[in-house]
Amino acid sequence: MTRVRVLETTVYRALSRSGLSDVDYALNPYIGCWHSCTYCYARLYVRNSAISKNWGSVILVKKNIVETLSREVKHLRPGVVGVGTITDAYQPLEAIYSLTRGSIDVLLKEGFRVSIQTKNPLILRDLDLLEEYRDKVDVGLTITTFNSRIAEFIEPRAPPPKARASALYKVSERGIKTWIFYGPIIPSLNDNDSTVDEIIELAKNTGSEILIDRLRVKNFMYKHSHPLHKLISSTRNYEWGNFLSKVLNKCLEAGVKCMEAFTKTKSQRALEEFT
């Protein structure tokens, strides 16, 4: 069993300006992520090398983030806060620290909207809060595949896809706006018709939108020891436009709203979020 080293820190700022066009602020109570997805490149922007070099095994906890946020919001114009824009805010440590819940509670009571993206059904713990403020909340579950073998390969410590889909149903049933983040698309791994059809079916059944995203190939993935190393070569000549058109057309036929993720971003990741 992999051990995780937890580092606690205090912060002077809880929110950062977001680089995403439809999000005003970003909130990331944890730096580093237990889920350890092979394609995750958040590690590239983490200043603490112990975290970036041991991705998934060292996690920084902003232990005073709720208190800091409570003071900070008094001086900010309410807007949309992206929760977990860099690292998953509902990773297992949240079950112990409850920093995400505490922060969302502060934000919603102060008139902010929250947009949450996670892979973890732990979010269901907070359904009472999310439901109370459902007009100010949207929740996205990342689902890259329904094949558990592939999921274990690319997202070794994240909850299984079926658990995420089940969480999506439960959030949606409470009248909360939901979406599916279908990405990254890794050629020959999760771009087959059956996966696309299952994603669309899930979106239809839960009234969710779909955000679809390509694989962002980074240098560390070219290392021979990296799990995606062999697959990377197939991304070079990949006809992303063809795949995207196919998915968009299928969504249109099914009456499901679908769009490419990050198309309007000022930058893929706002570096200042890692504070």
Footprint of ligand SF4 (CB under 6 A)? 33, 35-37, 40, 42, 87-88, 119, 158
Note if the bond before 184 is cis, omega within 30 degrees: yes
d(CA 213, CA 117): 14
Least Å distance between CB 87 and ligand SF4? 4
Closest CA to 164 of 183, 137, 145, 150: 145
Closest CA to 91 of 36, 166, 146: 36
Least Å distance between CB 142 and ligand SF4? 7
Q: List % helix, strand, coil for the chain (3-state, nearest 5).
A: 40, 20, 40
Q: Beta partners for 179?
A: 140, 209
Q: Which is nearer to ligand SF4, 137 or 151 (CB)?
A: 151
Q: Which is nearer to ligand SF4, 67 or 213 (CB)?
A: 213
Least Å distance between CB 208 and ligand SF4? 19
Least Å distance between CB 75 and ligand SF4? 29
Residues 6+ apart with CB under 8 A from 17: 24, 25, 26, 270, 272
Q: Which is nearer to ligand SF4, 84 or 187 (CB)?
A: 84
Q: Which is nearer to ligand SF4, 35 or 101 (CB)?
A: 35
Q: Which is nearer to ligand SF4, 43 or 136 (CB)?
A: 43
Q: 155, exposed or middle or buried, with CB in 10 Å at 0-12, 13-18, 19+?
A: buried
Least Å distance between CB 157 and ligand SF4? 8
